[in-house]
Structure formats: C-alpha cells, structure tokens
C-alpha cells in the first residue's frame, strides 16, 4: 500500500471523526435546550401569575402552600372563568379534571356533559407551584387555532330532483363518522388541549390517530429546531390530553366556535 492511499484513508478517518464530534455536540446542545425549555416556561408562569410581594406587603409562604387555600383559589378562578364566558352569547367548553368531566355551556347553562375516561397533564401543570398555575387558569383560555382529523362542518353534496318522481330519501351515511376523532386546540396562553376519542376499534383508527400525533410531533420539533438554530430556547407548551367517547368527541369539536373559549379546573 503506497503512501498516497494511506494518506487518503487518514484524511477520510479524520473527516468522519470531525462529523461525529460535530453531530454529538449538536445533539447535546439540542437536548440541553429541550430540557431547559419547560423550566423557562415555568419561570415565565411564575413571573406573570405567581405571588408578588414587596417590603410593604410581605407574603406568608405558609399560607400559599396550604392545600385548602390553594383549593379555594382554584375554585375562585374556575368560577370567574365560567362567569366571564357566561356573559358571551357563544358556546364554550368547561374542562373539569377534578370531576372528570368536559362540558359544553352557553349563557351559564350546561347543555351537554361528557365523562373523561383518561387524562394526561404536563408535569409543570400538575406538580409544581400550584398558586401560579391556578393564576394561569383564572380566566378563560381563548382558542387561536386547531388541528383535527375530522371536518368541523361535515359537507354533503345533494342533487335536486327535477320532480317528485325522482325524489329519493337520503340513505348515504355521514362518512366523516368513519374517521376517528382527534383534535388539538391551541390557546392564547400556550396551553394545548388534546381531545381524542377513547374507542379505537380498528387498525385504521389506531393508524389514523398515530399519524395525526406524529405530524404534530414533527411540527413541534421543527418549530423547536428553528428556535435552537438562532440560539433561542424552544417554546414549551404545557398540555392537557383527555379521552372521551367517540360520540362526545365529535359533539365537543363541532359545537365549539372557531375562536371559542375554554375554562379549565385541575
């Protein structure tokens, strides 16, 4: 083996070592930024909704850690949210994790209620600084966008008969009902509400919701990557994931206005 061949192999080896080192550094950087992201979000929530005291108004920390006090603060915020929404003339959603229910209301009256079969909540919403989190939900969340596996308004095309002899009753079923129901509600406080149907009877249902969830993860990863490339911490979005029946999932989604409101009680 001549010296030229040996030199070429050494250069190739050095090149791959550099690539491996750079890739490792990038992966570590990406991982660190993702770990920092939830803590930054929690810090922002504490800064905006946490206890604010000064020398003339000192806060007794024993009070804000008291479970009874925290429960009353949550109830007050939840009631305030419902009162605000009742003052509108639109339908709205009430998510009550404590009672395992999600309901549709209008003008202060509940017109439909569904049982939550399963729920999953971000750790920063469920385990740390309950006072600040209660402040986050002390007023309604406003929906700014949504993603869904089903149409919000089902479309059926009909051909009008020329006379009564051509009339035929509608026998075509609502094909949108075949698709599994799953949707994500993006809110103005960066809290994401996921609502999925509980029943997944077929492989098609499972694959459809899997692809829907995968697309959302890819979308979130892309947004995080864009922020990381300009040396900014990714925007962490706390989430609440609930499962209800297939029937209720459709009713909730189609009843809620495009820019509707949600009251949440953890």
pLDDT in tens, 142-201: 999 999 998 876 555 555 666 565 555 554 555 555 788 999 999 999 999 999 998 877
Q: Domain locations in the chain?
A: 3-265
Closest CA to 69 of 140, 130, 137: 130
What is the pLDDT of the chain when averaged over all its residues?
83
The fold for domain 3-265 equals L,D-transpeptidase catalytic domain-like (2.40.440)
What radius of gyration, in Å, describes the C-alpha atoms of the chain? 25
Q: What is the distance between the alpha carbons of residues 237 and 191, in angstroms, rounded to a whole number?
A: 6
pLDDT in tens, 208-249: 899 999 999 999 888 888 888 888 888 889 999 999 999 999
3-state helix, strand, coil in the chain (%, to 5): 45, 20, 30
Q: What is the DSSP string of 121-178?
A: E-HHHHTS-HHHHHHHTSSPEEEEEEEESS-SS--------SSGGG--------GGGT
Q: What is the dihedral of CA 140, 117, 196, 249, to 10 degrees?
A: -70
Q: Which helix (H) or strand (E) holds 244?
A: strand 239-244
């Amino acid at each position: 083996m001549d010296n030229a061949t040996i030199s070429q192999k050494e250069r190739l080896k050095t090149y791959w070592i550099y690539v491996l080192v750079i890739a490792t550094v990038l992966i570590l950087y990406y991982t660190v930024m993702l770990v920092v992201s939830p803590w930054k979000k929690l810090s922002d929530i504490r800064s905006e909704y946490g206890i604010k005291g000064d020398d003339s108004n000192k806060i007794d920390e024993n009070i804000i850690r008291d479970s009874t006090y925290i429960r009353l603060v949550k109830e007050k915020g939840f009631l305030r949210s419902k009162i605000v929404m009742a003052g509108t003339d639109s339908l709205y959603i009430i998510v009550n994790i404590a009672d395992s229910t999600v309901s549709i209301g209008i003008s202060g009256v509940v017109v439909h209620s569904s049982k939550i079969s399963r729920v999953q909540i971000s750790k920063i919403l469920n385990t740390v600084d309950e006072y600040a989190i209660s402040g986050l939900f002390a007023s309604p969340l406003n929906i700014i966008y949504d993603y869904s596996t089903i149409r919000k308004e089902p479309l059926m095309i009909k051909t009008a008969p020329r006379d009564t002899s051509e009339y035929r009753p509608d026998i075509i079923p609502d094909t949108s009902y075949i698709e599994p129901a799953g949707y994500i509600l993006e809110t103005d406080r960066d809290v994401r509400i996921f609502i999925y149907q509980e029943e997944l009877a077929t492989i098609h249902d499972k694959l459809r919701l899997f692809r829907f969830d995968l697309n959302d993860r890819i979308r979130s990863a892309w947004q995080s990557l864009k922020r990381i490339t300009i040396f900014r911490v990714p925007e962490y979005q706390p989430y609440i994931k609930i499962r209800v029946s297939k029937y209720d999932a459709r009713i909730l989604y189609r009843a809620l206005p495009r820019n509707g409101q949600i009251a949440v009680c953890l």
